[in-house]
Structures are given as C-alpha cells and as structure tokens.
Structure 1
Amino acid sequence: MESHDVRSSQAIDFERIPEMEDKWRKEITAMTVTLQDKRKAIQNDEILRGVHPKSHGCLDAEFTVNRDIAPQFQVGLFAQPGKCFRARIRYSNADVLKRADLEKGQDATGARFLNHGSRGMAIKVLDVGAPVLLEDGCARNQDFLMVNTPEFAFRNVRDYLRLTKALCASADGADPLLFFLPGELLKRGMMDMSGSLLPAPAGEPPQNAGLRALFEANRAFFDDFDAEDMQGVISAAGVVGKIQSTPVRNPLFAPYFSAASFRFGKDRVMRFSVVPLQSEEMAADMASDAFEDFSDDYLSQALALSVATNEPIKLSFRIQIAHEEDIVNDIDGMIENAAKTWDEDQFSHTEVAQITINPPCPSAELVDTCKPLLFTPWHAVVDFEPLGGINRLRKPVYSTSAAFRRSV
C-alpha cells in the first residue's frame, strides 16, 4: 500500500491544523489498536474494525457518471460523462462493537426507551485509472465513506482524543461515559462551562450525588478539561441525540452523508451524499413502536430481503460545492468542524452520478464479503483530497487498524 504526496503546488490550502494535532493523531492511533485488542474478549476472540465492525451486507454495484453532468463538475472521478465503474458497497453500524442494531431498555424512571444507532455506507469505486493519494494494495480505487446524518458526532481531533481516552478508561473499551459526563453535569447545574464542578447543595438528589462521585473518582481524567472541551461535549451530545432519534428501517433506503469535507480540484471543496431513487421504502411507516419487536440484526435481514427481490436498486450520488470565497473566512466551520453542516440553501445538492446495485444471489457470505477490505477516504484521486482534522486522523488510524486486524 503506497502513499503519494501529489497535491498540486497551485492548490489552495483550505486547512488550519492545530499545533498539537500530530501528537494527538499518534496517541489516538496507538490507543485504537489497544482498544481493538481489549475488545477481542467480548467479540468472539476476534480482532475487528475499530469502528463499523458490524456489517449489514456487502454488494457489487455500478457507479456511473451522469452523461449530462455540467462542465463545472467534470472533475476527478467525474471528468468523463457517462463513464461507468465497478464498485463495492459495505453497509454497517457506526459502532465500536458488533451488537444489536437497536438499544432498548428502561431509564431511571422506569420509562422504556429505544435508541437508534449511527449507520454507515462505504463505497469503493474500483480501478479509477488515475493517480491516487493512497493505493489500495496495488490498486487505484476511490473510497467514499458516509454516515446517515449530515454531521459527524465529533468536531475534530481534539474531541476525538477525549473520546478515545474515555473508551480506554471503560471496562470493555466501548463505553464513552466519561466523555459525556461533563455535559450531563452541566445540564444538571452541577458544573460550569469551564468544567469546574460546583459545590454540592444541601439535600442533593441521589442521582446527582452519584454523578458527582463518578466525576470525583475520575478527576484525573478531567485535569486538562476546559471550556473548549465542554463545547465539544455539547456538540457531540446534540449529534448523538439526533442519531438516536433517526430511524433506519432498511440500510439500502436511507440517505448517507460525508459530513467531512474534500477538495474538489484546486480551488473548490465538496461534501457528498447518497440518497435512494426508489422512495417507497422511505415512505413506509417509521413509528418508533414499530421497532420494538425488531430483531438484533434487523438491518442485515432487511437488506437481504430487498436483494432477494432481484430488482435493481438505484441511488443518487450528489455533491455540494463551496468556492474559495465561501471558505477562507470560515475555515474552522467549513473545513475543520465535521459536526457542522453546510447551509443547503447556499450549497445545494447536485447529482453527478448514479449507483446501481444489481442484487446477488442471497447467501450467508453477503454480510462478511467485505471483511478483508480497508475503506479509507485516503483511497482517493488527487482532485478529491480529504480535508479537515477528522480526515487527517482517519489516514493513520484506519490504515494501522486494518494492518493490526489483518495480522492476527
């Protein structure tokens, strides 16, 4: 797997890299491997992906550039109108463990709750025939990685470092409780925006007292916590709340978004998304109580049922484009914050390609066919260079994680 530094010297620098980020990336990369090894004991003694270990299905597809694509969008992979590429698509849960597709239970008051999870879609466009930033083995492929909300849960590398440390501190390597604890304390009026714990009032409710004790027991974890970190917790909690309330009945018929930003030629930036062209599945009843009886693996079952119809499934691949003048005064918001969406009125979605999934013969291998593959945004043509902290982090983390799970 060979990496190439092929960015044009004329390309505009759209990034703002924090001074400590290189150190943070190295820490997260090392901790990711530690977490993969730690989770082995609760994952059937298997080393899995650090994130997205549970697959719902891996499908062959055709990725076809629109014949009538406008000249201003004929960049990189989209340079040849009508060009058709072979592709692989992996649908997954954006979780750190292989576990139930839905979280069901009761809260402290006894009320039942049902939380949805983040869903992922990764497209590997094969043999693109152009220089790439990172070779896929010996192949030149273009990967597009997406989740089913337009925001990524964590803004940047600094936030992701705190998350990864919280996961490492948990017993199973999968509980982010310590990351979100300051936000809960703030919401309850027990902490200020700087991360300082306020004195306990007389007669503090038992649940509050329990949270206070948890914070005190882990005070060392929060030694360097400040107002900027609190903003990251608040942002992440908001996105997670949206994820948990966003139902997906069938992974084939959900919208997916890049969340992060990517270069689009020398002087523009894109975000991309995929939406289904068939709408009947999306219009189906999605009431929360309809999910109560769904199985732990209902998403892979729904996908298998859809491909068993032998009907082609068509998807629309869309891009949003921002120009230099849109970005230069807001690099932090437009590029470095993966939890901030772009205004759809200002940056409209434009279809540039369509994806056709020709259903395979249903088989037990449908779920695990993509298991050996590495999906990374750095499998990319030069014109689609990944931008922003989350994408910079993905380069070492995904490659190192894949190398580790392939080596054992």
Structure 2
Amino acid sequence: MSISVKILEVTGPKLLHEERFTQDFLAVCTPTFVTGDIQSNASLQRASLQNATIYHFLNLRQSHVLDLIMQGLWTKTQSSPLEAPYFSCVPYLMGEGQAMQYSFWPKSGHRTPVPRLPRRPPDDYLRLALEQRLSRETVDLDMKVQVQTDSFRMPLENASVLWPENLSPRVTVATLRLPQQAVDFAYAAKMARLLSFNPWHCIADHRPLGNQSRARKVMYTALSDLRHRMNAEPHFEPSSSDLP
C-alpha cells in the first residue's frame, strides 16, 4: 500500500513550477525500497515487462537475493489503509546540510479483522475498512522524522538500506488528521483523475535526495503529462476551496 499527501497553501518558491502552493509527501508501507538504485530499478522494470520478475532477483550475474529477502520480511496482508505505517524509503533535505527520512504511523492500535482468511479476501476489503472506520471516528497518524547521523550506515544513494533507529530514533514532528466523514468515492475518483503527485512538488529546504529521487522527478512528470493528455484533462493544482 502507499499513501500520497498533498499539503495546501504552502508558501515559498517551489522546485517544480507547475504547482505554486503545494507540498507532496509520498510513502509506501515497507521501510526500504524494493531496489537500491535506479539501475536496479530499471532491471526490475524490464523483468516485470517480460512477466519474469523473479529473474531480476535471482540473476546469477547480478543477483538481488538480499533485496528479495528484505521485501519478503516486510510483506504482509494489510488490515486497513488506516492501520499500517508508511515510509518515504528515500531521503530528503531537512534544511541546509541535513538529510532525513519521514514516515507516518497510526496513533491507534485498532485492527480491523481481515475477512475470509485464510482464503483470499474480497478485492475491495481495504476500501470498505477505510470507509467504515472514517464513518465512525477521526483517525490520526503521527508524522515522524529520522535524521541522518551516519553517512555510511544511513546512505543517501542506496534506498534498500534500513536506517538504524539506534543511531537515530524517529521523532514525531506533526499529526496527519483524517476527520470523521462519509467517504465520497465519486469525489475521490474525480480527484484521482485531476491530481498529480510528485516528490519534487516541494520547497528547496525539503528537496528529495538520491539517484532514485532524481529519476522520479523525470518519471513522475512524464507519467502525469501522459495521463492528462490521455484523459484530456489539464494539470490541476488544488486549493482549500476544492475540499468537499
């Protein structure tokens, strides 16, 4: 699972000028990325296109067995989009000369039973869990920051390395609050067509770092442009007046 958060009304010059007042935060529910660098990522994408992903990891000439094991350790059946931690996996600036990674953690220990286990859950069970939970209560997630304190054990260019918490604990810096609401999936589907997320929708003090982030700047922009052309929808920057 992944989470995409767009903060509105953020002032200051942005690194991508297509949006002037937003700051995007993107995260996934595994603490390390599936590939360490963009070359490995390209290899994985080529294998995926051939429906042979396993050969990327078990390639005898350039094996990625350790990445396969690490991702296997993190993979599990999720109970709800509101009950899993999410991680940036790649580093960002936190002001001049300081790197960090961020994450989002549910404040509540609530766990929604996964239906039909050990059989396959319904395809929409995560959507239903989100809808039912928000219909009853407000949900808070802590945003935590882990600053880089060791450039070797907490590298910027290898996203498959887990930054040790004994070197730098995660510190809560903000709360993401999802108010109690009736989830309007028609509105959500409309926003999914219009919105574009990019880690480079940010101010310079929070610039993405590392080779995969540099590649994402180009990739996310190209995919967004393609999607808007196919949907015949112009780029859309939301404001507070667009909230339901």
Residue 238 of structure 1 pairs with residue 69 of structure 2: yes
How many Å apart are 1:269 and its aligned residue? 0.6
Measure, in 2, the Cα distance between the counterparts of 1:393 and 1:293. Answer: 36
Tell me the CA shift for residue 134 of structure 1. 1.3
Residues 1:355 and 2:232 are matched in the alignment: no
Rounded Cα–Cα distance in structure 2 between residues aligned with 1:132 and 1:146 = 20
Query: How far 1:290 moved relative to its partner?
Result: 3.1
Q: 1:380 to 1:235 in 2, by over 3 A?
A: farther
What CA deviation, in whole Å up to 9, does each residue of 1:19-45 have, x standing for no partner? xxxxxxxxxxxxxxxxxxxxxxxxxxx
Partner of 2:47: 166
CA distance in 1, matches of 2:67, 2:39: 12
Determine whether 1:178 maps to 2:178.
no
For normalisation by structure 2, the TM-score amounts to 0.86
Q: Deviations over 1:285-330 (max 9, x none)?
A: 67x9735252012111111111121x2111111101124xx22xx2
Matched, 1:252 2:79: no
Instruction: Give the secondary structure class of the aligned counterpart of 1:125.
Output: strand
Q: Does 1:398 align with 2:200?
A: no
**In the alignment, is the contact (CA less than 8 A) between 1:126 and 1:142 conserved in 2?**
yes
| CA drift at 1:149 | 1.4
1:153 aligns with 2:34: yes
The percentage of aligned residue pairs carrying the same residue is 27
SS at match of 2:162: coil
Query: What pairs up with 1:232-381 in 2 under 5 angstroms?
Result: 233-244=64-75, 246-281=76-111, 290=117, 292-309=119-136, 311-323=137-149, 326-327=150-151, 330=152, 334-365=155-186, 367-371=188-192, 372-381=194-203
State the partner residue of 1:27. Answer: none
User: Where do 5+ consecutive residues of structure 1 fail to align?
Assistant: 1-118, 183-194, 196-225
Q: Which has the larger displacement, 380-389 or 290-299?
A: 290-299
The 3 A distance-change label for structure 1 pair 364 and 268 is: closer
Mapping of residues 132-143 of structure 1, within 5 Å: 132-135=14-17, 137-143=18-24
Find the residue that maps to 2:57 and give its secondary structure: helix
Q: Which has the larger radius of gyration?
A: 1
RMSD (Å) for aligned C-alpha atoms: 2.1
Distance 1:297 1:269 in 2: 38
Q: 1: CA distance between counterparts of 2:206 and 2:22?
A: 12
Judge conservation of contact 2:7–2:23 (CA < 8 Å) in 1: yes
Structure-2 separation of matches of 1:289 and 1:241:
22
- Equivalence for 1:122: 4
Q: Deviations over 1:342-381 (max 9, x none)?
A: 1101110111111111133233325524312111111111
SS at match of 1:158: helix
CA contact (8 A) 1:152 1:239 kept: no
What is the alpha-carbon distance in structure 2 between the residues aligned to residue 162 and residue 131 of structure 1?
A: 35
Q: Is the 8 A contact 1:133 1:379 kept in 2?
A: yes
Deviation at 1:120, TM superposition (A): 0.3
SS at match of 1:240: helix
Aligned to 2:235: none
Q: Aligned letter for 1:164?
A: Q
What amino acid is aligned across from residue 70 of structure 2 in structure 1? V
In 1, distance between residues paired with 2:143 and 2:203? 17
SS in 2 for 1:145: strand
In 2, distance between residues paired with 1:275 and 1:314?
A: 9
Cα deviation 1:151-180 (Å, max 9, x = unaligned): 11111011011012112334xxxx524323
User: In structure 2, what is the Cα distance between the partners aligned to 1:124 and 1:386?
Assistant: 15
Q: Distance in 2 between matches of 1:368 and 1:293?
A: 25
Gaps of 5+ in 2: 231-244
Give the counterpart letter for 1:124 in structure 2. Answer: K
Q: State the alpha-carbon separation in 1 of the partners of residues 15 and 53 from structure 2.
A: 33
For 1:359 and 1:369, locate their aligned partners in 2 and report how far apart those are by CA, in whole Å.
Answer: 21
